[in-house]
Amino acid sequence: MRIVSLKLRGFRNLQEAAFTFSPRVNLVLGRNGEGKTNFLEALNYFSLGRSHRGSKNEELIGFDHEALHVQLEVEEESGNVLPCEFGLDRQGGRRFRLDGEAVRRRADLVGRLATVFFNPDSIQLVRGGPQERRSFVDQGMAEVDPLYLAALTSLQRTLKQKSGLLRKYKLGLTNPAKTEEELRAWNRELATHAAVVCLGRQDYARLLTPHAAESQRALTDQEDDLVFRYRPQLESVRNLLESDRDIPLKKLPEKEHLEGVIYQEIDYIRGSEMKRGRPLSGPQLDDFAVLLNRRFQPPEKGLDLRVYGSQGETRTAAISLILARSDALFARRRIRPVLFFDDIFSELDRERTLRLQELASRLHQVFIATARKEDVDGWHPDEMKIWNVESGALNEVT
């Protein structure tokens, strides 16, 4: 998959312009604050239906504009070129079109433009809290399995309803008998969706691990194995999924059986949840371990990088996991996502930078934004296009 061209108007500080891209490497050079990250944000917005930076839609519209409009041409693996566009206005309007047809739901955009983004915050995948790792897995699994996205959305909606009921009870707005009856119903529905989500997260961790280990070895030239292991919060799920240490080869349990054990566990603490006024257990509290197994070391003795990893080890592990996400997508859907690198090479030594650049551009279209020309010194890939950016204006270097 690659982005063939871009037309934009009214996006942040970027001047109205049109671009045609290299199918391999596209380099954007400029000082901080000139518009490099804004440019990558405009390219990546359609893949998520939102800003990867967490910005509100109105913040994306340029100060002197009432609306923005971005058009992309995306070439799929089949060679078919797909027109994609989106528009936002200050009244809260948001419009997406795919191949000329209006897209009503943001969920319908998932996977149509597949991208993987690297920035200085990527290290939080290892160092950060469980939410960082859950979001990473949920987004990756949603790309490879639309049924997972549907179950995750339903799970989140059910949790919201259950949380609202518990808050109402805590405030004395509903009686105990009625609350217990409704909680049982929400717990049954929660278990149905949670079973799909838990199995999906386990599946994705198994899918990701060998690719992450391969990327880790390519970046470090060492024989250590990187392992990404699912750590369910629910004890019943842990017992079923972790009984076999050989996780990549483990057979997953039946969904219907898992539904039953999940329901039993979360409904067992119904009284405690009513007392506390909030859900106390479920996949919303899951985590994932990032382990580094030295050569000849048993898997259970792996170094927990979140706790004990050096800055270099955690940074390399995060990059390896994010690269593995692109390999996982190709393994399941035969799609090579577009890769974005936003000012990350200053965080790596020169040898590791060159290894990453070569590894990433070998099979993918790559967009690189950097303030330092020396980040790409000594690297001369074929078909590279270069732009200089200043005050939101991008000029191609010929």
Single out the residue of 117, 36, 28, 45 nearest to residue 84, CA to CA.
45
The pTM score is 0.88
Token look-up 């529905």 returns: 189
Q: Which two tokens stand for residue 209?
A: 């691990």
Tell me the three state secondary structure of residue 280: coil
Alpha-carbon distance values, 249 to 294, 324, 397 (Å):
20, 18, 50
pLDDT at 19 over 70: yes
Whole-number pLDDT of residue 347: 75
**Are the beta carbons of 274 and 162 closer than 8 angstroms?**
no
Burial 159-180 (b: 16+ CB within 10 A, else e): beebbebbeebbeeeeeeeebe
Question: Cα–Cα–Cα angle for 219, 74, 71, nearest 5°?
Answer: 120
Nearest-angstrom CA–CA distance, 250 and 248: 6
Whole-number pLDDT of residue 52: 87
**Are the beta carbons of 100 and 41 closer than 8 angstroms?**
no
Whole-number pLDDT of residue 249: 41
The amino acid occupying position 192 is T
Is residue 251 very low, low, confident or very high in pLDDT (cuts 50, 70, 90)?
Answer: low
Tell me what the mean pLDDT of segment 145-172 comes to.
94
Token look-up 């000849």 returns: 296
Single out the residue of 143, 182, 169 nearest to residue 1, CA to CA.
143
pLDDT at 266 over 90: yes
Tell me the three state secondary structure of residue 34: coil
Whole-number pLDDT of residue 346: 76
Tell me the three state secondary structure of residue 194: helix
**Are the beta carbons of 261 and 192 closer than 8 angstroms?**
no
Whole-number pLDDT of residue 245: 47
Whole-number pLDDT of residue 295: 62
pLDDT at 22 over 60: yes
Whole-number pLDDT of residue 244: 44
Cβ neighbour number for residue 215 with a 10 Å cutoff: 25
Tell me what the mean pLDDT of segment 91-100 comes to.
91
Q: Which residue has the higher pLDDT, 313 or 185?
A: 185
Q: Which two tokens stand for residue 393?
A: 């204006």
Helix axis angle, 176-220 relative to 255-268, nearest 10°?
120
Q: Which helix (H) or strand (E) holds 215?
A: helix 176-220
Burial group, residue 58, by CB count within 10 angstroms (0-12, 13-18, 19+): exposed
Q: How far separated are the first and last CA of the chain, in Å rounded?
A: 25
